[in-house]
Amino acid sequence: MGTFREALIDINFAGITIPRGWKMHWSPFTTNKNHKYFPDPEAFDPTRYEGDGPTSCTFLPFSAGPRMCPGKDYSMFLILVYVYNVVTRFKLQKLIQDEKMRYRVGPVPANGLPMRLQTH
């Protein structure tokens, strides 16, 4: 997953010259895991986005600007509806306490993150 762009001018980045016309690939996944902006990026830590949180343009799951994902708002709405329904209707219990992660296009629980859901 990611996005492609074409260099409109010659660019010198970190000692590497990217010539005008070259196609470049940017992956939000790797940006979102950058240790410079996210200490311990593998940890589930929603509090990292509170207060001052990471600086602008360091977490871009939907990209940004005129080419950002057109389904962003709809996706966020669906996530809220889904989470609301799960947490209000069920008690969740993780069955593997120290679940490990594998990385494909994005992070995936190694054992599928088995959960026990019980109605309240």
DSSP string, 64-120: -GGGS-TTHHHHHHHHHHHHHHHHHHEEEEESSTT--EEESSSEEETT---EEEEE-
Nearest CA to 54 out of 73, 40, 66, 68 is that of: 40
69 is in an annotated binding site: yes
Q: What's the rounded Cα separation, in Å, for the pair 38 and 31?
A: 10
**SS3 label, residue 15:** coil
Number of helical (H) and strand (E) elements in the chain, helices listed first? 2, 8
- Binding-site positions for heme: 69
Which residues contribute to the annotated binding site? 69
